[in-house]
């Protein structure tokens, strides 16, 4: 039944769906040739999807989803900025600041994350209501925060 294996291997998605829904005749011309019909159904097939490098694939019933899991440099920088915003918002909350209080933020220089924070400075300042975001060689009496495995010293000062 080599011909059957070759035919099954050549199935497209529509044919696979037909087999999964009900019985499928592999040799529809069996009456003309005098052969017995070869019938298969979902129990006769093992369906698998190949891994696609850089994608996470999930299948549920007739639905298949592939997500691009490669993180670009720009997306990584945006993630750093969002994490920094989250950490500063927690500092604001823990310090008892009002939602509308303006702040100044000073943080230690760090080559690993500083480019991300500079690129997204406008976004960061808008989110945390900061009038300034300054990088200093050293921060005294700062709060230590971790942003995506990078440790920073930060001072958050309420204005006015």
The contacts of residue 75 (CB under 8 Å, 6+ apart) are: none
Query: Looking at the chain, how many residues does it have?
Result: 160
How much is the pLDDT for 82? 98
Judged by DSSP in three states, 109 sits in coil
Q: Between these two residues, 34 and 141, which has the higher pLDDT value?
A: 141
The pTM of this model reads 0.65
Q: How far is CA 64 from CA 6, 20, 48, in A?
A: 24, 15, 11
Domain ranges of the chain: 2-68, 73-158
Judged by DSSP in three states, 122 sits in helix
Q: What percent of the chain has pLDDT over 70?
A: 98
Average pLDDT of the segment spanning 89-116: 96
Q: How far is CA 8 from CA 42, 99, 150, in A?
A: 12, 63, 53
The reply to whether CATH 3.30.2320 applies to domain 73-158 is yes
User: Using CA atoms, how far apart are residues 145 and 154, in angstroms rounded to an integer?
Assistant: 7
Over 80: is that where the pLDDT of 62 sits? no
Q: What percent of the chain has pLDDT over 90?
A: 53
Nearest 5°: phi and psi at 87?
-65, -40
How much is the pLDDT for 1? 66
Over 70: is that where the pLDDT of 9 sits? yes
Confidence of residue 49 (pLDDT cuts 50, 70, 90): low
Average pLDDT of the segment spanning 19-30: 80
pLDDT tens digits for range 28-43: 787 778 788 888 888 8
Please list, residue by residue across 123-145, b when 16 or more beta carbons sit within 10 angstroms of its beta carbon and e when fewer do: ebbebbbbeebeeeeebeebbeb
């Amino acid at each position: 039944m080599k011909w059957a294996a070759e035919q099954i291997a050549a199935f497209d998605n529509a044919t696979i769906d037909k087999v999964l829904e009900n019985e499928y005749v592999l040799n529809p011309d069996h009456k003309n040739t005098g052969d017995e019909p070869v019938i298969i159904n979902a129990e006769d097939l093992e369906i698998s999807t190949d891994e696609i490098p850089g994608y996470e694939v999930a299948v549920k019933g007739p639905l298949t989803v592939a997500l691009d899991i490669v993180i670009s440099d720009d997306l990584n920088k945006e993630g750093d900025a969002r994490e920094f915003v989250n950490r500063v918002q927690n500092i604001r909350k823990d310090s008892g600041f009002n939602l509308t209080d303006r702040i100044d933020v000073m943080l230690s220089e760090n080559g690993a994350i500083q480019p991300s924070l500079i690129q997204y400075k406008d976004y960061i300042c808008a989110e945390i209501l900061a009038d300034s975001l300054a990088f200093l060689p050293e921060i005294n009496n700062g709060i230590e925060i971790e942003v995506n495995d990078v440790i920073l010293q930060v001072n958050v000062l309420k204005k006015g």
